Structures are given as structure tokens and as C-alpha cells.
Amino acid sequence: MRIGELARATGTTARALRHYEQAGLISSQRAPNGYRIYDERAVARVRNIRYLLAAGLTLDDVRVFLPCLDGDVAAAPPSEKGLRVALERLAVLNERIAAQTEARDRLEAALRQATSGRIRPVA
């Protein structure tokens, strides 16, 4: 299947597919006219990549899951390495959330002080 067909089948874009390919997560063959040709397994692989990215992992994190990207990642029992990567990513996300929360709280306090409490934050 060509790149546009794979994009439609997986709900992504051709640009994202080229990015996944550049990152070494999917591969294609080249037709005589230069078009990328993907086999049917690429559909499951791309869906799994998108599932892992939607869960908060990065493309670098997803590389750990290469051996199981052709199966059902969501239903498979997690590997120790996969769990470790996911826990590390969760810690990073929690740190970022904490930093953003602190920044929001400082900005909110500054606005209250500067406006004598007239401005209320939007919830």
C-alpha cells in the first residue's frame, strides 16, 4: 500500500509516517516510480506507535517496543524494559506538571496582587 493509503488506514498523516520511518520505527520499499510501498503489517505497527505516543511516550521511548509493535501492544503483558521506560516517562511528565502548576500559581498570585484581587483566574 502507498503512503496515502496507510495514512488513511491509520488515521495519521503522510508526514507523520515519513517521520516514523526516519526514526526507524517503520520501513517501506520503493516502487520503480519512487513511491513508498508499505506491507499490510505496517497498519498494526503504526496504530501501536500512535497508541504509545498518545499514552505520553516519545518516539525514542517507542523504540523500546520495536519487538512487539507488530502485535497488540495494548493487550500484551508489559516487559520489564517497557515498564521501566513508561515509569521514567511518567516521572518526567509529573515533574513538568508540577513545574507548570508552580508557574501558574505564581502568575495567579502576581495577578491578584497587581489588581488587588479584582482579577479572578479562569478555571
Mean pLDDT for 20-26 is: 96
pLDDT at position 123 over 70:
no
Share of the chain above pLDDT 70, in %: 98
**56 SS3 class:** coil
**28 SS3 class:** coil
Q: Give the integer Cα–Cα distance in Å for 17 and 118.
A: 49
- Residue 121 has what pLDDT? 65
**Alpha-carbon distance values, 50 to 20, 46, 59, 108, 115 (Å):** 10, 6, 10, 35, 45
- Residue 12 has what pLDDT? 97
